[in-house]
Amino acid sequence: MTDRDEAPAGAELKILYEDEALLAVDKPSGMLVHRGMGRDRVTLCDLVAGRSSGPAHPVHRLDRGTSGVLIFAKSSSVARLLADQLQGDEVTKKYVAIVRGRPPKSGDIDHPVPSREGGPRVPARSTFRTLETLATEPRHSSIVEVTPLTGRFHQVRRHLKSLSHPVIGDANYGRGDLNRAFRWRYGLGRLALHALRYELWHPETGQRLVFFAPLPADLAGPMKRMGTKWDPELFDGRRREPLLNKG
């Protein structure tokens, strides 16, 4: 599955957390968040609207090919409060990606990218650490954890590309021949990028919330076939701190 492939019909909504103010879901790879210019039969917003009695607003973006944690606000007022957190440094996001080659052990990426599709480049920062390098064919690949410190268009994908280590399966910033090889050898038929962990302050209670989305089968399975020493099915960033109260 590439960025442009549609999620299978009958995709179900996987709820990670829900209360009267917000909803956290585990987005599958291949599903659009909202219709926009796409012509998909079903989007994630459609599934959320079918469950909720009122409007639900996605408060951040995930690309079609990216899976993992996505947060919806159940009112415009909550959406504004969460947007304010996103503009500051109160939200923590962690992604897991399989990338081409052997990146450094860790590093900071300060590389301008557009804040929206077709827009001008603006400052953007991420940090990363390499978790494991795999002796895959036709060339080595690595599992990395990325923490975006800003929220820009395709930021994680563009930043990894800027290091010359694009995400495997990336039709925009990777290499088609390598993507096809990993699909054929390991069954990796999707963008190898997953939003693993998301932390924020509850906009009404002030409690610190931590959401996890374990690696899905269409990413965990290929990782096993690639020879990872991790257990992908349990790979959910289990650094669980107690819930805190803001201030």
Residue 213 has pLDDT above 50, yes or no: yes
Which residue among 3, 40, 46, 63 is the active-site one? 63
DSSP letters of 13-28? P-EEEE-SSEEEEEEP
Partnered with residue 146 across adjacent β-strands are 95, 128
The domain covering 15-226 belongs, at the CATH homologous superfamily level, to: Pseudouridine synthase (3.30.2350.10)
pLDDT tier at 247, thresholds 50, 70, 90: very low
pLDDT tier at 56, thresholds 50, 70, 90: confident
Domain positions in the chain = 15-226
84 is an active site residue: no
Helices of type H across the chain: 44-51, 76-87, 155-162, 176-186, 217-225
Give the tens place of pLDDT for each residue, 92-150: 999 999 999 999 999 999 999 888 887 888 999 999 999 999 999 999 999 999 999 98
Residue 61 has pLDDT above 50, yes or no: yes
Please state the rounded mean pLDDT for residues 33-51.
80
pLDDT for the residue 242: 36
Average pLDDT, the chain: 87
Q: Which residue has tokens 């442009």?
A: 4
Strand 193-201 and strand 67-73: the pairing is: parallel
pLDDT for the residue 224: 94
Q: Distance from first CA to last CA of the chain, Å, rounded?
A: 44
d(CA 184, CA 179): 9
